[in-house]
Structure 1
Amino acid sequence: MTSDQVYLALLEIFLLITVAQGLKISSNKARIPPLIMELITGLVLSPFALGEVINAFVGYQIFTINSYLLLFSEFSVILLIFASGLEHGFKSLRTSGYLASLAATFGAVLPFVGVFFYMNFFVSFPVAILMGAATAATSLAAVASIIESERLENEHYIKITLSAAAIDDVVAFIILSISLAIIDTGGLSFFELVKLTLKVVVSWVIIFLASVFIIPRIISVVSDSLVVDMSLLILFILVTVMITLGFSPIIAAFIAGVAIAESRKAERIRGMVKTMIAIFGSLFFITIGAQTNVFTFVSTDVLVQGSIITVLAIVLKFAGIFPFAYVYNKDIRKAIASSLGMIPRGEMGLVISSIAFSSGVFNQSDLSEVIFMSLTTTAIGAIAFERLTRKIAKNET
């Protein structure tokens, strides 16, 4: 890459981040999830849309999918998943309770299985299983701002949502690990599938528990001036180890985040990560949007399949959570609210679709369908959750 191409790539990154930040600020009052504005930025300024027009107008290839943009995007997603692990911590996983654990497990497994079996009629096995995996995980970010602004953190019915969301991520990462292992291995008998699943789960649990036991002790003995450097070193060492063992780097990032959250110096590390995410965090979602041909959304097949996947993702997630939320709340409306808070997919669905697209499993249409599902579930879940929580609050005053 020449120096001119490097400068153009950096200019593209700065422009994309600036536009995304501007859109997020302007949409803040409307409470539109930032993820939606970041995706829209990428879709509009992609080389498939307005970006190509701007390139032709200025005479330079500013908006392109280049190696620098993809590199920063990969770094961005590792930071985002690392931050997710930091926010959860092992304590929240340990104290979630059996009802939250069951809600998270069934809420992740049902959409995964349902979407997989449906898509298996239309696409190849690898595409179907990763489509299912993309619908498994909840993104609490979409409703987090509502919980904070409405001061719902201490409400009884919100606690199961927060606890289940923590477990939900772990279940989704295990599903992703198993899915990737099955794709790599190829055709398996039922016995071989069970054996592979047990192997992945046991490996995952051993690495997870070992990390949670060892990493906080390392962080605790490091001087304050080196704690940030050490946390990043641990993150990248764990990423390297887990890639070598055949796991995705985002799984390593999550485990590192959960483990470091248990150290006494976790708050300082959270501050550093928040600063880095403020700069680079949006780049992953922008890049996903930029890699997607916006004109695929006018395709009848994409709209129909995307809508069916969205309906399955919403209905099966709700069906997996509601029974346990009702037992927990003893109130139908509050159980519905608890379940609606888990509807948005957001980050994890897009992370999995990015892995599938970059590895050649997904094509443009597959990527568009997952983006459609992520955007729609995020919007529907957040709006429905906000309206119902306000009604509940109004009735209780």
Structure 2
Amino acid sequence: MWDMNTFIDTLSMSPLLQGGISQPWLIAAANADEAPLILSGVLLSLVVIYLASKLGGELSQLLNLPPVLGELVGGVAIGASALHLLVFAEGGTVAADSALMPILQFIGGNLSAESITSIFESQSEIIEILSELGVIILLFEIGLESDLRELTEVGYQAVLVAVVGVVAPFAAGTAGLVLLFHMPTIPSIFAGAALTATSIGITSKVLSELGFLKSKEGQIIVGAAIIDDVLGIIVLAVVASLAKTGEVDIVNVLYLIGSASAFLVGSILLGRFFNQAFVTIADQLKTRGKLVIPALSFAFIMAFLANAIHLEAILGAFAAGLVLDETDKRKELDKQVVPIADILVPIFFVTVGAKADLSVLNPAVPENREGLVIAAFLIVVAMIGKLMTGWTVVGQPGINRFAIGVGMIPRGEVGLVFAGIGSASGVLDKPLEAAIITMVILTTFVAPPLLRVAFKGGAIAIESPAN
């Protein structure tokens, strides 16, 4: 999809920031003969994604599990681990690995190997971009559902949860790999950094489905996950510099800290002025989409600005949602954003599942065995390092600390990005890369059902007047 070397150079956090279109896509798009086949590939991929999303979601609902877990499992079923209906050009996957390419080859007739490769790369590139749009819309929707005042009230608690959730797994993971497994320092630091990630997309979706997004616990988790993303960008800047040059670029790290702080604070402060302008504009417009189009335009502008200063685009979208949540048109806007989210958000979750290659869990493959031993250690550190964050919350009697810790567990797409960068830079050997991917997969899939259990067990505490 994206050029990993360029990715490391810009020190971005995830492919969600890139939004860029690689050169093969442009070449393919320029070829009029291939363009209809690229469209056919995208349409087939979307049909497969939506079928997997609905079947998985409905099955999860029947089993009393969060539907997002079903979407992830549906992605695994159609992805690199099973049917190969949805695979991506990144990470060495080729056109021959895709079960959809023979269909396109049949439709297109005698296509050359170069053409089918170009079509495959273009089709997977477009699905990646749609996935990125999906998570941007998801975080915009979550921002609309959040309450800025409540989020501000738990601000210091969220900061503490985020800091502990980054420092504890990073320190324990790095030290453990060096002392117990005698690994070199830089690969150990990279693996430790992968443990710091939290997938706000997965956690916030589960919280919303369970109806706990606006609870005290939900607000702490969302706030901490946002701060965790900012800290993750800084951690990535450090480890990417180490991987590339063996030393840390202090100037770049300070720039990231300053730009992240200025963006988040500035978004909230300027939002008060934008609220009035947004309502005025919406009232003046008379044509269809007079509310949702300006709102999405604002969300995309904020996402663009975040991307432009090397933050995550989803942070900008979340900030936009928080700002518009303060307007008196928020409820109406909520209803209009939901159908858009229903179309784009499943692409993101199914894509995350499709990228999870469960073959790294097969102990019958000799090269996987060492990775599985290391993975067991990383999983323990990953779980405990995040679970303990709930017990850093003070001054909140009756708070569900276990739920807060569980909410910080899933690594999701962010963890996969760390593994991808480490692999592309040559820092990670195969066992350690497999261990990181295994940790990401298990923490991603165990968190949604655990979160349901955590809130079910703490329902009385959550609803008590003390909260």
TM range (shorter): 0.7 to 0.9
- Tell me how far 1:256 sits from its aligned partner: 2.3
- The RMSD of aligned alpha carbons is 3.8
CA distance in 1, matches of 2:312, 2:158: 26
1:262 aligns with 2:326: yes
Give the counterpart of 1:352 among 379, 404, 414. Answer: 414
Q: Which SS does the other structure have where 1:263 is aligned?
A: coil
Which amino acid counterpart does residue 163 of structure 1 have in structure 2? Q
- Tell me how far 1:105 sits from its aligned partner: 4.1
Which residue of structure 2 lines up, in the alignment, with residue 379 of structure 1?
A: 449
CA distance in 1, matches of 2:337, 2:256: 29
Deviations 1:190-221 (A, max 9, x none): 8x64x655543332222222222334333232
1:308 aligns with 2:377: yes
Q: What does 1:1-397 correspond to in 2, within 5 Å?
A: 1=28, 2=34, 3-51=36-84, 59-60=102-103, 66-96=124-154, 98-99=156-157, 101-118=159-176, 121=183, 124=187, 127-128=190-191, 130-135=193-198, 139-142=203-206, 144-146=208-210, 159=216, 161-183=217-239, 185-186=241-242, 193=250, 197-215=253-271, 216-217=274-275, 218-224=277-283, 225=285, 226-298=290-362, 299-324=368-393, 327-329=395-397, 334=398, 337-345=400-408, 349-356=411-418, 360=424, 365=434, 366-387=436-457, 389=459
Q: Is the 8 A contact 1:228 1:269 kept in 2?
A: yes
Q: Which SS does the other structure have where 2:61 is aligned?
A: coil
Which amino acid counterpart does residue 81 of structure 1 have in structure 2? L
Which amino acid counterpart does residue 40 of structure 1 have in structure 2? V
Q: 1:196 to 1:277 in 2, by over 3 A?
A: same
Q: Which SS does the other structure have where 1:223 is aligned?
A: helix
- Tell me how far 1:175 sits from its aligned partner: 0.8
Q: Which SS does the other structure have where 1:124 is aligned?
A: helix
CA distance in 2, matches of 1:56, 1:251: 35
Bigger Cα Rg: 2
- Residue identity over aligned pairs, in percent, reads 19
CA distance in 2, matches of 1:357, 1:319: 24
CA distance in 2, matches of 1:133, 1:254: 20
Q: 1:234 to 1:60 in 2, by over 3 A?
A: same
CA distance in 1, matches of 2:100, 2:337: 38
Q: 1:305 to 1:324 in 2, by over 3 A?
A: same
Superposition TM-score, scaled by structure 2 size: 0.68
Higher RCO (CA-CA < 8 Å; seq separation 6+): 1
- Tell me how far 1:142 sits from its aligned partner: 3.3
CA distance in 1, matches of 2:282, 2:103: 48
Q: Which SS does the other structure have where 2:203 is aligned?
A: coil
CA distance in 2, matches of 1:55, 1:270: 38
Q: Is the 8 A contact 2:406 2:454 kept in 1?
A: no
Deviations 1:304-324 (A, max 9, x none): 444333322332223232153
CA distance in 1, matches of 2:235, 2:223: 18
Q: How many residues are aligned here?
A: 376
Q: 1:169 to 1:344 in 2, by over 3 A?
A: closer
- Tell me how far 1:178 sits from its aligned partner: 1.0
Superposition TM-score, scaled by structure 1 size: 0.79
Q: Is the 8 A contact 1:238 1:253 kept in 2?
A: yes
Gaps of 5+ in 1: none
Deviations 1:122-181 (A, max 9, x none): 773674254133248692543554456xxx97xxxx63x133213212321221221233
- Tell me how far 1:113 sits from its aligned partner: 4.0
- Answer with 203-212 or 375-384: which moved more: 375-384
Q: 1:56 to 1:310 in 2, by over 3 A?
A: closer
Q: 1:86 to 1:246 in 2, by over 3 A?
A: same
Deviations 1:67-122 (A, max 9, x none): 22212111112122222333334222212265565345434543344345546747
Which amino acid counterpart does residue 406 of structure 2 have in structure 1? I
Q: Which SS does the other structure have where 2:326 is aligned?
A: coil
Q: Which SS does the other structure have where 1:13 is aligned?
A: helix
CA distance in 2, matches of 1:45, 1:76: 19
CA distance in 2, matches of 1:196, 1:58: 42
Q: 1:135 to 1:89 in 2, by over 3 A?
A: same
